Amino acid sequence: MAQIGQILVDVPTMQTNDPYSYAIPTELEHQVQVGMRVIVPFGRGHRLVDGVVVGLSDVTNFDGQLKPIETVLDLAPVLNSELRQLADWLATTTYAFRITCIQTMLPNLLKTQPKRQVWPTTTLSDAEMATYFPEGAPRDFDATKLDEQTVAGLLKLQRAGKVEVVYQVKNQAAAKTTTGITPALPPTKLNEIREAVSQRAPKQADLLAYLAQMPADKVIAQSEARKQANVSAAVMTTAAEKGWLTRSTLEVYRDPFHQPVTPTKPLHLNAEQQVAVSAITTAIDEQQAENFLVEGVTGSGKTEVYLQSIAIALEQGRTALMLVPEIALTPQMVNRVKARFGQRVAVLHSGLSKGEQYDEWRRIDRGEATVVVGARSAVFAPVENLGIIIMDEEHESSYKQDENPRYHARDVALWRGEFNHCPVVLGSATPSLETRARAAKGLYTRLVLPKRAKAQAMPTVHVVDMREQMKIQGDSDFSEPLMTAIKERLDRHEQIVLMLNRRGYSSFVMCRDCGFVLKCPNCDISLTLHMDTHSMKCHYCGHEEAIPHVCPNCHSKKIRYYGTGTQKVQQALEQRLPDAKILRMDVDSTRRKGAHERLLRQFGEHKADILLGTQMIAKGLDFPNVTLVGVLNADTALGLPDFRASERTFQLLTQVSGRAGRASKPGEVYIQTFNPDHYAIQLAQKQDYERFFVTEMHMRHQGSYPPYYFAVQLTASHEEEAVAAKAMFQIVEALKQGLSPQAIILGPTPKAIARVKRKYYYQVVIKYKHEPKLRAVLEQIRQAAQAPARRGLTVTIDSEPMSFM
Ligand code: ADP
Ligand code: ZN
Ligand code: ZN
């Protein structure tokens, strides 16, 4: 009997978790392996599609004539057995398709069809060379163009460890410089010229407007300026010739993680750290899949516990995986790992090019890198023989993917810990309620680091009642106590971190006469004013338009800007504190590769006094000279209609407060709020996580929310509101019929932002404790959503969503 392959195929709109049977051509028999990717003919048209081999057998229950697979895409499996089992588990628990899960696990380069070459890895015999490398090594490898005999022969050589396939990555040596531009005339002059040319050369006018708002001393990359002003290279050249701008050479920074770091030695642990490391060491030694929660206040030395635990695993000849929320935001953490483990470290993150990412992936796959550091998707790194998995800042919402498969990296980490018989260490100063609740139930071993590592005091936190401040000094972004504290620090040459969780200049513009608010044409949200680009922007779909000077509704000129963003605060600070040097860190100022690291490095070198930013500055930063943290508006998250609003607020305030006074000088924090009596704010002031946990658990219990209940959120979206709504009503009907009366079904309701990118969103949330039929019901809903009659309708299923909005 010939061999038969079970193949998962990738055909959008016809996804299924059941593999199809294909015959393996005689030539390739016993050469094709599970975990390899293949090309197979599909459907009546015999269209060629990609697939993955998930099983091999000698029999099939399909009694027709089996189609043969066309050829193989790889000479070796791309997924090992652990990752294949993980993919199946992921598909089941996240209601995603197996093929989607497999693709999520692979590095981006493998998802494209790059050029591939076969290289000999040992000396081949003359006969082998003559047969397989008639024109010398390496040779191009594209199995679709080779006869089966050659493919079969190459597969045999690969299995014998004599050849390997290498993906060709275009080697773009990092350009170190690029062209920069600076305005050559003052803004008034530029605006004069703009008015003169606006009729006959609108593009030139656009560029002039852009130049007029650029700070006089700023150099910006020409490519970036072109993007922002939306003009061609020719317009740039014209402008240079006319003397509107000057061109210069601008330095481009290289990937910071390639920079050498100074090696460090393990620190002498304090008593609590010692207890933690010993407990984790025992689990590593005994190959126990024990899970730990390291609950340590900010600055308590959690990182040192991680590093010394990793060292233990490596000593035993095992490997380590360390997850961090967002690599770009935590360059210090990556450097600390590299400083301890050097060349053994591989870093996986989205800032790498496809080629760089693939290089790191291969170093891991080959066992050259034994410590892997990365963000969410690094949890799928093909490290074998794991001895420890660490997840820093385990409460961070970026660990949950918000597209299919909607997995949480924590769940994957726990699965892999179980599989590899190794401990999983979850660390945070403010653990998620779920995690802390599991520790309370005894599912995780809790290790507490109650004080800062070098016995520094925790910062003193003041809550400023902005309702009172409004009465004293009107509408200002800075309370009097915070401003006084800032000036004190500037006098003492100490540094300041200020957080405002809103980017842009003003959050909306409104007409004073008719109340008209400028909204996005594609989304149900107001447009934000941006001064850097001189435009109105939608933060959801990227729509951009000119700033209105008359009301589009009533033609009144009384257009006013409301609400504060980081750009406006930066301007206000520059006016009030002309001698202070300010760095702004938000999505807009960090678009360019390496921008985060550059800003943080400048701040670390004390080239600036104030670091002003959105929540991206709250995490992980360890700057000894920062003695003051100001939160300009603590209420942004609190106002959201979501069960996690208090938790998020408490976590953010505690994290950002933890940036102050980390070294010898004591730290101070000012939290400005309109809700000074809210428990999340009061307990953040006391930095009392345990009290917060108890209080919040009580609230969750009262409201029947997670972690007392499990939750699933379903969303239907369509360009026509009625279609989305109707689909959701049908889904709710199916749920009511299929589930027990104990399941709580909330909805259908429009989502908090009902329309995004021209699509209407309707949702339902199911809260439940025990629903044996839930999986089957959701499976049916998922299959029904693929019906051809449902074109344009998207139904998503999110198990344990990060929010109910
Ligand atoms: P966390 O990750 O808990 O916020 P860190 O690991 O950043 O804390 O530690 C805070 C500071 O304390 C760092 O500068 C670190 O080098 C230092 N530190 C940690 N453990 C020790 C120790 N055992 N002895 C001396 N310094 C330590
Ligand atoms: Zn109006
Ligand atoms: Zn929009």
Residue with CA at minimum distance from ligand 1 atom 9:
301
Q: Which residues contact 574 (CB under 8 A, 6 or more apart)?
A: 580, 582
Buried b (16+ CB within 10 A) or exposed e, 223-235: bebbebbebeeeb
What pLDDT is stored for residue 694 in this prediction? 97
Residues 6+ away with beta carbon under 8 Å from 217: 182
Q: Starting from the CA of residue 427, give the closest ligand.
A: 1
Which ligand is closest in space to the CA of residue 541? Answer: 3
Ligand 1 pocket, mutate which of 267, 297, 425, 448 (most atoms under 8 A from CB): 267
Token pair in block for residue 126: 């003359």
- Name the residue of 262, 622, 687 whose CB sits within 8 Å of the most ligand 1 atoms, as the mutation to test its pocket: 622
Single-letter amino acid code for the residue at 252: V
Q: Which atom of ligand 1 is nearest to the CA of 273?
A: 23
Task: Show the beta-strand stretches assigned E in 283-382.
Answer: 291-296, 319-323, 345-348, 371-374
pLDDT of amino acid 788: 64
CA of 397 to the centre of ligand 1 (A): 24
Which residues, chain by chain, have CB under 5 Å from ion ligand 3? 520, 522-523, 538, 540-541, 543
CA of residue 536 to ligand 3 center, whole Å: 11
The angle subtended at Cα 241 by Cα 237 and Cα 247, nearest 5°, is 65
Instruction: Give 675-691 pLDDT, tens digit per residue.
Output: 999 999 999 999 999 99
Which one is predicted more confidently, 115 or 513?
Answer: 513
Residues near 555 by beta carbon (within 8 Å), at least 6 away in sequence: none
Each residue of 269-290: pLDDT tens digit? 999 999 999 999 999 999 999 9
More confident residue, 454 or 416: 416
Residue type, 64: G
For a ligand 1 pocket test, name from 303, 425, 659 the mutation site with the most ligand atoms within 8 angstroms of its C-beta: 303
How many Å lie between the centroid of ligand 2 and the Cα of residue 545? 18
Secondary structure (DSSP) of 732-788: HHHHHHHS-TTSEEEEEEEEEEEEETTEEEEEEEEEES--TTHHHHHHHHHHHTTSG
Q: Is 242 exposed, middle or buried (0-12, 13-18, 19+ CB in 10 A)?
A: middle
**CA separation (Å) from 284 to 276, 314, 338, 484?**
13, 10, 22, 51
β-pair type (460-465, 445-449): unpaired
What integer pLDDT is reported at residue 169 of this predicted model? Answer: 56
Q: Whose CA is nearest to atom 10 of ligand 1?
A: 299
Which of the two residues, 77 and 426, has the higher pLDDT score? 426
**Backbone φ, ψ for residue 573 (5° rounding):** -65, -40
Rounded-to-integer distance, Cα 713 and Cα 709, Å? 13
Within 13 Å and on the Cβ side, how many CA atoms surround 92?
7
Using the atom order of ligand 1, give the atom closest to the CA of residue 622.
7
Joined together, the tokens standing for residue 767 give 């809260």
Q: Which two tokens stand for residue 355?
A: 């080629």
Ligand nearest to the CA of 267: 1
Burial of 160 per CB tally in 10 Å (0-12, 13-18, 19+):
exposed
Least confident of 185-194, 245-254, 552-561, 610-619: 245-254
The model's pTM is 0.83
Counting beta carbons within 10 angstroms of the beta carbon of residue 33, is it exposed (0 to 12), middle (13 to 18) or buried (19 or more)? Answer: middle
Q: State the burial class of residue 101 (Cβ atoms within 10 Å of its Cβ: 0-12, 13-18, 19+).
A: buried
- Per-residue model confidence (pLDDT) at position 173: 36
Helix (H, G, I), strand (E, B) or coil at 791: coil
Q: Which of 304, 322, 392, 458 to probe ligand 1 with, by most ligand atoms within 8 A of CB?
A: 304
The alpha carbon of 773 and the centre of ligand 1 are apart by a number of angstroms equal to 48
Q: Looking at ligand 1, which residue's alpha carbon is closest to its atom 15?
A: 301
- Residues β-bridged to residue 562: 508
pLDDT tier, 125 (very low <50, low <70, confident <90, very high otherwise): confident
Q: What is the DSSP letter of 68?
A: B
Nearest alpha carbon to residue 586 among 562, 607, 564, 605? 564
Highest mean pLDDT out of 14-18, 353-357, 445-449, 632-636:
445-449
- What does the alpha-carbon distance between residue 633 and residue 499 come to, in Å, rounded to a whole number? 8
Angle at Cα 690 formed by Cα 688 and Cα 691, nearest 5°? 70
Task: Dump pLDDT digits (tens) for 170-187.
Answer: 544 333 567 888 888 888
Say which residues have a Cβ less than 8 Å from residue 800's Cβ, sequence separation at least 6.
408, 706, 710, 711, 712
Give the residues surrounding ligand 1 with Cβ less than 6 Å away.
267-270, 273, 296, 298-304, 453-454, 622
* CA–CA separation, 412 and 407 (whole Å): 8
Read off the pLDDT band of 766 (50, 70, 90): very high
pLDDT at residue 524 is higher than 70: yes
Tokens of 624: 């000894």
pLDDT in tens, 316-347: 999 999 999 987 777 788 889 999 999 899 99
Q: Return left, alpha or beta for 385; rule: phi > 0 is left, psi -120 to 50 is alpha, else beta.
A: left
pLDDT value of residue 579:
94
Q: Among all ligands shown, which has an atom nearest to the Cα of 517? A: 2
Contacts of residue 557, Cβ cutoff 8 Å, sequence gap at least 6? 549, 550, 551
Tokens of 72: 């193989």
Nearest to 394 by CA among 372, 422, 416, 427: 427
Q: What is the arithmetic mean of pLDDT over 545-557?
A: 92
